[in-house]
Structure 1
Amino acid sequence: MVVFLPIFCAIYYLAFWLRFEGSLNVDGVLGEYGFRMFRSTILWAVGLKTLAFWGSGVYKIRSRYITILDLVNLSKAATLSSAALAMVDYLIFPNIMIPRSVFLIDWGSTILAVCGFCAGIRMVQDSGRIFRPQGDCRPTFIIGANQSGASLLRIIERNKESCLRVVGFLDDQSSRIGTRINGVPVLGTLNEMCALAQRYDVSDILLPADEIPGKIVRQLVEAGNSAQIQVQVLPSYQQLLSGKVEMKPRPVCIEDLLGREPVQLDMQNIRNWMDDRVLMVTGSAGSIGSEICRQLLQFSPKKLILVDRTENSQFFLERELIKLGYNGRFDVVIADINDSKRMRAVMREYQPDILFHAAAYKHVPLMESNPGEAVKNIALATKHLADLAEEFEVGTFVMISSDKAVNPTNVMGANKRIAELYVQSLAARSKCHFVTVRFGNVLGSAGSVVPIFTQQIQNGGPITVTDARMQRYFMTIPEASQLVIQAGAMGRGGEIFVLDMGEPVLIVDLAADLVHLSGLKLGEDIELEFSGLRPGEKLYEELHVAGEKHVPTCHPKIMVAEKVSFSEQFILEAFQRLSDLTEQPSDVILEEIQRILPEFQSAYLKSNQSTFKRAA
């Protein structure tokens, strides 16, 4: 403010000097009339301008980070001070009448002078970067001539400690070639990456996360490896705001290679469906359940109820959500979905409008050894919860299923399929919209293949793969969770929604990618071993039950599986028999499951049948 006082005086004097065309008398001052007018109003002009700038917060602007919004605020302050001076001139000095051109010249000169002053300070502050020897910095490219790329460029240029010098952008749109962002040209397309990198001596390329599909990332990484170029990923704004990542480049990870274009949600439809309603998520402490909770809290539910029996995981989830600013918008409930009395009390207390059922056992080999527990925790638990949803008039019940429910060869998948059938049977006669969402493997979920491979690599190997032909569909946790929410909003009851999981991935290729991304070589640094199929595992996951067709929906990544009819009486009788057999030997339980689902092909039963035939 002290610095601006003489600047304001000089600007006001300049406005009069220009208005009176530099007219001077013998004493070397302005013409008598103009000088008297200037002298009478200078204190008012400077005082009002100082107050306007103070009130608008202009003095608090940090020159190095000045933005368009700051310039707009500055213009408002200058306009306000000029208007105030005009009113003072009209009310207090009616005999003077300052010429209107003086106001206009003073207003424009003030904006230009203050902007120039801030620009000068910024040049001084950035002089170390501007005049830094370019030879000390490594040339680099940024992929994406867009908002993320421009933001990354500004961060690099303003960082005095940065050892990078951005020499150009690469973009997938050829129409942007030749344009410039902050003086840096868009040099070419992604296909020209290696040739341009060789021409400009670039060995590092920066890629803002989530900007391009994983398939293209894979191509860039493979091309870069052949040309000895390192592609590094910068975290996205969404990741930064969630506090999940550090602000530094990282090597490309497996999620980048397998990721697809971001899911586009019908936000208005989802908001109409869930805003100001009570939502409940079972299995909230699990990988999918916890991510569904995070996604749901981005909307405006009346309350979110987190239900899980795992106390420790619930504790850490609660702390995370509070840290993200969601305190007061959710309740954490410790409850076992198999405990019907406890769940009835929870439903009576909270009266949920929408229920996402994500609680279930999921480890295939363990369920093969414990089929009775699988029946209790998957099939029977879903039945009890669905019955409660109908009893307490829940608006929508969303069950999360698995692609392992399709032509199941394991106990976990078979129980998921039986649960699907029961949910569908209820939908035919219930006011509640019973909806099922079916998808495949999720990257990074607890116990999934990627964390296992990563741990094996850290231990020095070997990486164990069951079979060279094994392949799976993969989704990221946020992608799966968002599509579950979208499918729930679309459901009208009875649908089995099948999510588009892209192309299947060979597990061997997945292992090789992880070894490579760790900076190692498969077969040299890390060995690969084949252990053989485990009980209940399939080489290929399937998307269609026999006789089932997939019909497109209004969302490009969600399809509906046409219903395969079963009588409600048959399903109820099947559940009654299962509930009576949970403590029986495994073969008894498996035979009953096969009776309900003739397509169920149990390896345990096959081996026992072979043994019986040999004995006979």
Structure 2
Amino acid sequence: AAYFAAFWLRFEGQTPPRVEQWFWSTVGYVVAIKLAVFVGFRIHRSWGRFLTFSDLARLVQAAGLALLATAMAERFFGPPQPAPRTILLLDCGVTVVLLGGFRAVQRAMWDRSWSSFFWNGAVPTLIVGADEAGEGVLRAVLHDSRRRYRVLGFLDRDPRKVGSCLGGVPVLGTVDRIAGIASKLNVREAFLAAGDITGREVRRLVADARAAGVALKVLPSYQQLLTGRMALQPQPVSIHDLLRREPVALEMDHIRDWLRDRVLLVTGSAGSIGSEIARQLIAFAPRKLILLDRNETGQFFLERELADLLPAKDEGRLIEMEVVLADLLDRSRVENLLKRHRPDVIFHAAAYKHVPLMESHPGEAVKNIVFATRQLADAAEWAGVQSFVMISTDKAVNPTSVMGACKRLAEMYVQSLTREVRCRFVTVRFGNVLDSAGSVVQIFRKQIAAGGPVTVTDPRMERFFMTIPEAARLVIQAGVIGRAGEILVLDMGEPVRILDLAVDMIRLSGLEAGRDIEIKFVGLRPGEKLYEELQAAGERSLPTRHPKIRIAVSPVADLAALRQNLARLRNLVDDRPGEVLEALQDLIPGYRQDPAPPREAATAENVRLRAA
């Protein structure tokens, strides 16, 4: 049709017989060339209802290439007397106008005159974030075959975008106007797409949306939505969304060179951090992945999960996985395990984690954290392990708890080994991870579900938080860049007040703190601090090549003296457990046991004041 129209326009409807004969002799290969080029550019896959500028640009490119190919074909296959060259230019232009115009009209009809029919019953929705991510969410909504949502507009933090359009949908206002706009348009849901919005802004947005009766929801990444790897499944805003940690960039090539085709051992693999490290190690194609823990149930479910994640082949190599039930205190078992598998890298994540419980069982804490680490580290050197990455905690900094003191002692031992062994020992220190097993988030969630009260230690208490995947990624990254004997500290961002966390979780449940759910202050328990630290007194902080990892430079203990002290500590654990705490204080500079302050009751009124 476009080719015929080009002739008609060139000769104003009065085509000479010679030219008409020329048309019929060339139309076959002209159509064939256009079909081949347009199929190659996937023009036939471009739906009018989802038309974007990139689709039009691709159409113009395809028409231009077809023009050049037709001109070349005419030179070899066309009649001796060619038609005017302007016909080919007109054909190209008419093709773009016809195909592009048809799709533009189709898009306009869909968006306007037909929308009331096709989107009847769909939920009126806003998208927060008029950017690439927001456009991706819009496309996902339009591709939703169930037509559950009708996007009425965008909101954005940038007032300069107000009044513009994105994908044919207007930017109605700034984010802080969500309540008024939602009320005016009877909006019932809003999708959070802005990737650069901060946790504080998300909190405010949740409160404003809730006040307007709007359910604020989040979706998977727009890349996953557009590639079809995940369906449109909006989820309520979670506590992870309120934290809003920046994505972690890894040195993928360096990590792959370090881990590819290696034998890797993860201890504490059934725990939150150990299991996530195991999941992420699979992406680097190790030869074998050994998962060690004494938690039978956790190991059972982890094995089932990872079996689905393991690729059948990786460039011809199978990735083996072995799940091991073992106790690190069983020396012969550990040595036999390392002798049989000969791991190249060990990620040591096994340890106790509950501070108050360890205060009641200091001997068990010393055995599980200190002596298990020593035994594994010594066995690693004996077995020829190349790298040993130990997971530590911010509670090891100026410790006030048995668990923190034991972690600091384990740090000291691993660090002191560097002077006499070949294995590269690296310690990675960080704070709490969000929503780990038995964490404050899980406790709050259960208390809210039960109707309260939500128990908070102290209105002033603060903790550092990061997500489990972020912590695992940075542990792996630290294992690459860390040098022998270094203690690497992860960037935890700003500390989060536990009271704020409780209030946020109550609000995300659709309730109000102090009115629907009581918050009860229970006071510091033994070993707990109000504020955690990431750097001890006397330590210096130095940068690394990764912006989220720093080095804590501290004096290195004498290995021989430390081993003698550990031998005495072992005797105390076995024979005189009541003297363990005193021995820990002698061994660890800065370890102190502060008595907990008096417990404080709270009313709904002071909860509101402190949460403000």
TM-score (structure 1 length as normaliser): 0.81
1:145 is paired with a residue whose SS is coil
Does 278-287 or 183-192 show the bigger shift? Answer: 183-192
Counterparts of 1:235-246 in structure 2, within 5 Å, are: 235-237=219-221
Question: 1:331: which partner in 2?
Answer: 321
- Following superposition, the deviation at residue 581 of structure 1 comes to 4.5
* Kept in 2: contact 1:379–1:419 (CA 8 A): yes
Question: 1:35: which partner in 2?
Answer: 20
2:496 to 499, 505, 508: 505
Structure 1 residues 395, 113: closer, same or farther in 2, change over 3 A? farther
Distance in 1, Cα, partners of 2:19 & 2:300 = 75
1:14 is paired with a residue whose SS is helix
Structure 1 residues 403, 293: closer, same or farther in 2, change over 3 A? same
- Following superposition, the deviation at residue 401 of structure 1 comes to 0.4
- Following superposition, the deviation at residue 126 of structure 1 comes to 6.0
Distance in 2, Cα, partners of 1:249 & 1:419 = 44
Q: Which amino acid aligns with 2:506?
A: V
Question: 1:170: which partner in 2?
Answer: 156
Larger Rg: 1
Distance in 1, Cα, partners of 2:69 & 2:175 = 56
Structure 1 residues 305, 210: closer, same or farther in 2, change over 3 A? farther
- Following superposition, the deviation at residue 417 of structure 1 comes to 0.9
Question: 2:598: which partner in 1?
Answer: none
1:260 to 245, 249, 253: 245
Does 542-551 or 47-56 show the bigger shift? Answer: 47-56
Does 105-114 or 235-244 show the bigger shift? Answer: 235-244
* Kept in 1: contact 2:155–2:173 (CA 8 A): yes
2:197 is paired with a residue whose SS is coil
* Kept in 2: contact 1:304–1:331 (CA 8 A): yes
* Kept in 2: contact 1:440–1:475 (CA 8 A): yes
- Following superposition, the deviation at residue 92 of structure 1 comes to 5.0
Matched, 1:232 2:190: no
- Following superposition, the deviation at residue 141 of structure 1 comes to 4.0
Does 502-511 or 87-96 show the bigger shift? Answer: 87-96
Question: 1:517: which partner in 2?
Answer: 508
- After superposition, the CA RMSD in angstroms is 3.9
Question: 2:408: which partner in 1?
Answer: 417
2:350 is paired with a residue whose SS is coil
* Kept in 1: contact 2:122–2:147 (CA 8 A): no
Counterparts of 1:110-509 in structure 2, within 5 Å, are: 110-119=95-104, 129-132=114-117, 140-157=125-142, 161-171=147-157, 173-191=158-176, 204-208=189-193, 210-224=195-209, 227-228=211-212, 230=214, 232-237=216-221, 247-267=232-252, 269-271=254-256, 273-275=258-260, 277-299=262-284, 301=286, 303-324=288-309, 326-327=311-312, 328-329=318-319, 331-336=321-326, 337-509=328-500
1:332 is paired with a residue whose SS is strand
Question: 1:7: which partner in 2?
Answer: none
Unaligned runs of 5+ in 2: 313-317, 596-612
Structure 1 residues 198, 554: closer, same or farther in 2, change over 3 A? farther
Structure 1 residues 421, 396: closer, same or farther in 2, change over 3 A? same
- Following superposition, the deviation at residue 185 of structure 1 comes to 3.9
Identity of aligned residues (%): 48
Alignment deviations for residues 326-350 of structure 1 (CA, whole Å, 9 cap, x no partner): 4544523314233344433443454
Unaligned runs of 5+ in 1: 1-9, 24-29, 605-616
Does 325-334 or 139-148 show the bigger shift? Answer: 325-334
Structure 1 residues 229, 565: closer, same or farther in 2, change over 3 A? same
Does 355-364 or 248-257 show the bigger shift? Answer: 248-257
Structure 1 residues 53, 239: closer, same or farther in 2, change over 3 A? closer
- Following superposition, the deviation at residue 416 of structure 1 comes to 0.8
- Following superposition, the deviation at residue 361 of structure 1 comes to 1.8
1:212 is paired with a residue whose SS is coil
* Kept in 2: contact 1:207–1:234 (CA 8 A): yes
Structure 1 residues 68, 184: closer, same or farther in 2, change over 3 A? closer
Structure 1 residues 94, 255: closer, same or farther in 2, change over 3 A? closer
Does 334-343 or 512-521 show the bigger shift? Answer: 334-343
Alignment deviations for residues 273-329 of structure 1 (CA, whole Å, 9 cap, x no partner): 545554432222211122223333444555544333334333433443444464544
Structure 1 residues 325, 99: closer, same or farther in 2, change over 3 A? farther
Counterparts of 1:511-590 in structure 2, within 5 Å, are: 511-590=502-581
Distance in 2, Cα, partners of 1:113 & 1:407 = 74
Distance in 2, Cα, partners of 1:391 & 1:229 = 64
Structure 1 residues 366, 246: closer, same or farther in 2, change over 3 A? farther
Q: Which amino acid aligns with 1:11?
A: A
- Following superposition, the deviation at residue 418 of structure 1 comes to 0.9
2:550 is paired with a residue whose SS is strand
* Kept in 1: contact 2:126–2:191 (CA 8 A): yes
Does 323-332 or 536-545 show the bigger shift? Answer: 323-332
* Kept in 2: contact 1:311–1:334 (CA 8 A): no
Distance in 2, Cα, partners of 1:84 & 1:244 = 37
Q: Count how many residue pairs are aligned between Structure 1 and Structure 2.
A: 587
Alignment deviations for residues 368-396 of structure 1 (CA, whole Å, 9 cap, x no partner): 34333322321122122222333344343
* Kept in 2: contact 1:590–1:602 (CA 8 A): no
Q: Which amino acid aligns with 1:316?
A: F
Alignment deviations for residues 195-246 of structure 1 (CA, whole Å, 9 cap, x no partner): 6667767675431275422122223334555x54646131231896899998
- Following superposition, the deviation at residue 421 of structure 1 comes to 0.2
- Following superposition, the deviation at residue 477 of structure 1 comes to 1.3
* Kept in 1: contact 2:130–2:194 (CA 8 A): no
Question: 1:610: which partner in 2?
Answer: none
Distance in 2, Cα, partners of 1:169 & 1:51 = 42
